[in-house]
Every structure is written in structure tokens, then in C-alpha cells.
């Protein structure tokens, strides 16, 4: 896989994990990047994406209503890493979290060409 996520595991309710997504082959600032999650017996949900630096949306970040206010996506260009910060972790946040990159971005999986393997986040109470 050209993308590698980390930072998952068993996290306490109301915790604030940060999930890095790194790549040794792709330069994030040249692509749109997105975060997706899939919980057991639920469809894959695209909930955050960031346009490339020179893209149509000029690096703007977008969030689905389901995560707005608690999730923050960011990009560290010198470190070539995209981050997902989750605040106030809730039971419904238990899922496999995956990052992806592609030319256009959006909340749809079809917009992305490269995917990581994902990292499991499990909320414990």
C-alpha cells in the first residue's frame, strides 16, 4: 500500500486520538486526500476531505455533518503526512479508518485512486 495509517487501537470514551496517514511514494500536497471509515455491518462513510494545494478548492477542507465539530483533518507538507484529529470520541466512532488520495476529492470512494490499509479505532468505556 502506498498509504499507511496509524494511531488506532483501544481508546477511551471522550478520548482524542490523532491518526496520521503517511506515504513514501505520493506527495500529499499534489493530491486531494480523504478520510473514510467503516464500522461493522455499516457502509463505508467518507467524512472528510481536503483539496490539493493548487486544486479547484485550493486546499479547503470539508466535513460531513456526522463529524463536523469533532473531527479535524490537516496536512503537514514538510512531513508529507495527513492527520485526522478526533475529539470527544464516542461509541459510534468505532470503525476502521482509512485515508485515500486522488485527483479530485470528495466524499465518494470512487474519487480516489490510492488507499491505505486502514487502522482500527475501538472506543472503550
Q: Could you read off the pLDDT of 6-39 as tens digits, one per residue?
A: 999 999 999 999 999 999 999 999 999 999 999 9
Q: Do the beta carbons of residue 28 and residue 51 sit within 8 Å?
A: no
| CA nearest neighbour of 18 among 124, 125, 123, 121 | 121
| CA nearest neighbour of 106 among 66, 51, 53 | 51
Q: What is the dihedral of CA 79, 116, 72, 51, to 10 degrees?
A: 80
pLDDT at residue 125, as a whole number:
87
Q: What is the mean pLDDT of the chain?
A: 95
Q: How confident is the model at residue 91 (pLDDT cuts 50, 70, 90)?
A: very high
pLDDT at residue 55, as a whole number:
76
Assigned C-alpha cell, 68: 463536523
Q: What is the mean pLDDT of residues 72-76?
A: 96
96 pLDDT more than 90: yes
Q: Do the beta carbons of residue 89 and residue 12 sit within 8 Å?
A: yes
CB-based contacts of 69: which residues, under 8 Å, 6+ apart?
none
CB-based contacts of 56: which residues, under 8 Å, 6+ apart?
none
CA distance 49 to 63: 7
Amino acid at each position: 500500500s502506498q498509504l499507511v495509517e496509524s494511531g488506532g487501537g483501544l481508546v477511551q470514551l471522550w478520548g482524542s486520538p490523532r491518526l496520521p496517514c503517511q506515504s513514501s511514494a505520493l506527495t500529499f500536497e499534489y493530491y486531494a486526500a480523504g478520510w473514510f471509515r467503516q464500522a461493522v455491518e455499516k457502509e463505508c462513510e467518507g467524512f472528510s476531505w481536503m483539496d490539493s494545494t493548487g486544486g479547484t478548492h485550493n486546499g479547503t477542507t470539508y466535513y460531513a455533518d456526522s463529524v463536523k465539530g469533532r473531527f479535524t483533518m490537516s496536512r503537514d507538507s514538510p512531513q508529507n503526512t495527513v492527520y485526522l484529529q478526533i475529539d470527544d470520541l464516542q461509541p459510534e466512532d468505532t470503525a476502521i479508518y482509512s485515508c485515500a488520495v486522488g485527483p479530485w476529492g470528495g466524499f465518494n470512494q470512487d474519487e480516489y485512486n490510492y488507499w491505505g490499509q486502514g487502522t482500527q479505532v475501538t472506543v472503550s468505556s
